[in-house]
């Protein structure tokens, strides 16, 4: 009986969610699909302003995805999430964790007891960003002395001294693991790169670069992943691979509303979460903007001097 009840409740929730989905865009914390981004860009060019959804707080799910908990209901607990968010905000008061996305180029300085000078700086492209709460982490990739290097950092690790965004941009895909099989020039970035400052109020640009893969063997079956940021994938495929790619396709998954629902945190919960942290995050953003502006003004002087 209870099972039936739960099922019907689940169904009811889903239906509610579907109806809501018709009204506004998908609420997943995952980065939006490229087509959507393009659409947003078109809008920007028309109005010259960032499109504002009904609730500006919900926009933060892209900037601070780690504030949303894991959607698995078995692991959720409101008190734990609250304590976790409080700890995250405490840490954010100590260092400025900037807005960045997969595809942005970052420089991270950490304190390292074994390094010379006790600090270690690494520059690289962010190839993945995952985890929620205090477990949030990201991976940087660079090629140092013709050797690919990847370093995974915890976002809230207290040994991180600074996180600096050298180039704020997105790529065409959510994860850039394919850079491991791409030609090294696509993941090579100079260590002494200067930070590029975007004019205020512009949307985060999407870099439409398409990388070239090295010939096989590959680490993963890239041809099956519907990647947009790879140009020469067809060159390396045999007829067998194409056939199998067709067989393994799951075109029905985009219609699986239940699956999408389970991947997202319900909007009621999201409203509650953002209502709790929005003001503090907003204040932090404003203060960092102010300091950044000061830095922009003072930077040329120091160069002249």
Partner 1 sequence: MATSNLYLLCKAMNNLRVNHIVKRTGHYTTLRKPKYRPPYWFMPKERVVSEDMLTQENRDFLEEVKQDKQVLQKQMESPLANVEMQQATEWTPFTRRVGLIARKIGNYPLWTKDGKKFQTTLLQVVDNHVIKYIPPEEFNPMKSGKMKKEHWKEKRTLGCLLVGSETIDPSTVTKDYCGMFTNVGMLPKRHLCRFMVSPHAQLPTGTPLYATHFRVGDCVDIRAKTIDRGFQGVIKRWGFKGMPASHGVTKTHRRPGNIGAGGEKARVWPGTKMPGHMGNSWRIIRGVKVLRVNTEHNVLWMLGVAIPGETGAMCYLYDTVLPLKKLKTAPPFPTSLHVDGLPLEYYDESIHAFEQPTIKFEEA
Residues that bind partner 1 (CB under 8 A): 74-77, 79-80, 83-84, 87-88, 90-91, 93-95, 111-113, 117-118, 133-135, 154, 156-161
> Whose Cβ is closer to partner 1: residue 88's or residue 176's?
88
> Whose Cβ is closer to partner 1: residue 94's or residue 207's?
94
- Tell me the C-alpha distance between 83 and 22, whole Å: 34
CB of 93: closest distance to partner 1 in angstroms? 7
> Whose Cβ is closer to partner 1: residue 84's or residue 173's?
84
Instruction: Answer yes or no: are the C-beta atoms of 18 and 24 closer than 8 Å.
Output: no
CB of 260: closest distance to partner 1 in angstroms? 24
N residues, the chain: 305
- Tell me the C-alpha distance between 127 and 147, whole Å: 16
Structure tokens that stand for 164 in this block: 């600096």
> Whose Cβ is closer to partner 1: residue 123's or residue 160's?
160
> Whose Cβ is closer to partner 1: residue 138's or residue 178's?
138
CB of 120: closest distance to partner 1 in angstroms? 11
| 194-202, Cβ contacts within 8 angstroms, sequence gap of 24 or more | 194/166, 195/164, 195/165, 195/166, 195/167, 196/166, 196/167, 196/168, 197/292, 197/296, 198/168, 200/289, 201/49, 201/50
- Tell me the C-alpha distance between 288 and 97, whole Å: 10
* Residue 215 neighbours by CB under 8 Å, 6+ apart: 236
Instruction: Answer yes or no: are the C-beta atoms of 174 and 30 closer than 8 Å.
Output: yes
CB of 268: closest distance to partner 1 in angstroms? 20
Across 93-208, where does the E strand assignment appear?
A: 105-111, 119-130, 137-144, 147-154, 160-167
CB of 90: closest distance to partner 1 in angstroms? 4
CB of 130: closest distance to partner 1 in angstroms? 15
- Give the residue carrying structure tokens 């003004």: 297
> Whose Cβ is closer to partner 1: residue 116's or residue 302's?
116
Q: With left for phi above 0 and alpha for psi between -120 and 50, is residue 131 left, alpha or beta?
A: left
- Tell me the C-alpha distance between 126 and 141, whole Å: 6
CB of 78: closest distance to partner 1 in angstroms? 9
> Whose Cβ is closer to partner 1: residue 53's or residue 78's?
78
């Amino acid at each position: 009986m209870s099972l039936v009840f739960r099922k019907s409740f689940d169904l009811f929730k889903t239906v509610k969610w579907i109806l809501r989905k018709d009204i506004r865009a998908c609420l997943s914390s995952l980065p939006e699909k490229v087509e959507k981004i393009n659409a947003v860009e078109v809008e920007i060019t028309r109005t010259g302003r960032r499109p504002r959804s009904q609730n500006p707080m919900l926009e933060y799910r892209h900037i601070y995805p780690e504030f949303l908990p894991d959607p698995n209901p078995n692991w959720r607990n409101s008190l734990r999430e609250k304590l976790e968010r409080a700890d995250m905000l405490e840490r954010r008061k100590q260092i400025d964790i900037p807005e960045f996305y997969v595809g942005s180029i970052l420089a991270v300085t950490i304190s390292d007891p074994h390094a010379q000078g006790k600090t270690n700086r690494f520059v690289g492209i962010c190839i993945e960003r995952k985890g929620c709460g205090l477990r949030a982490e990201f991976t940087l990739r660079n090629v140092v002395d013709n050797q690919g290097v990847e370093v995974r950092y915890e976002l809230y690790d207290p040994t991180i001294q600074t996180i600096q965004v050298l180039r704020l941009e997105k790529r065409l895909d959510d994860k850039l693991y394919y850079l491991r099989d791409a030609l090294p020039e696509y993941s090579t970035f100079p260590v002494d790169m200067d930070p590029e400052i975007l004019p205020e109020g512009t949307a985060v640009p999407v870099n439409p670069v398409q990388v070239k893969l090295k010939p096989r063997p590959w680490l993963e079956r890239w041809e099956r992943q519907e990647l947009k940021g790879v140009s020469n994938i067809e060159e390396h495929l045999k007829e067998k691979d194409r056939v199998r790619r067709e067989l393994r396709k799951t075109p029905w998954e985009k219609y699986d509303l239940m699956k999408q629902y389970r991947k997202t945190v319900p909007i009621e919960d999201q409203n509650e979460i953002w209502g709790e942290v929005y003001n503090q995050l907003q204040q932090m953003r404003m203060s960092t903007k102010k300091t950044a502006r000061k830095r922009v003004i003072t930077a040329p002087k120091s160069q002249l001097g």
